[in-house]
A and B are shown apart, each in its own frame.
Chain A
Amino acid sequence: DIQMTQSPSSLSASVGDRITISCRASQGIGNDLGWFQQKPGKAPKRLIHAASRLQSEVPSRFSGSRSGTEFTLTISGLQPEDFATYYCLQLNAVPVTFGQGTRLEIE
């Protein structure tokens, strides 16, 4: 199975900050990666697919990028509604696998 190593596991930031979350794949997966947001007690919500393609309803302060097997989710100008847990998901092989999650908290 492809392992996704996500970091950091938690992150404290303030409204207006720029933050980055990383996921490293255990092997090459091309651009077959998505990002999801989950708020406490809620279902996950899709943000980005194909490493950098923003879903249509997602604010442009979210962006994704790739360098080799390392993927980055960036949020520029944090808003109060952005404080949540974020997961990456690789789609290159079955089973699709998630990173461990990054909990983004208000500082």
Chain B
Amino acid sequence: DIQMTQSPSTLSASVGDRVTITCRASQTISTWLAWYQQKPGKAPKLLIYKASSLETGVPSRFSGSGSGTEFTLTISSLQPDDFATYYCQHYNSYPLTFGLGTKVEIK
């Protein structure tokens, strides 16, 4: 099974900061990677698919990059609505797995 390792687990940042979250796969997954945002009590929301494609309706301050085993999610200028938990997920093969999440907190 492919393991997804996300870092950091928690990130404290201020409005306007540039934020980067990293996800590492235990084996190569090409670009079969998605990023989700989840707020408390809500379902996850797809932000990025195929490692770098922005989902329709998602603000352009979100971007994804990487291939193989190393991936990043970047928020170019953190907004108040962005304080949430972010998860990566591979879909290279079954079983699908998620990273443990990165909680973005207000500094």
- Please say whether chains A and B are actual partners in one complex: no
B contacts, CB < 8 Å to A? none
A contacts, CB < 8 Å to B? none
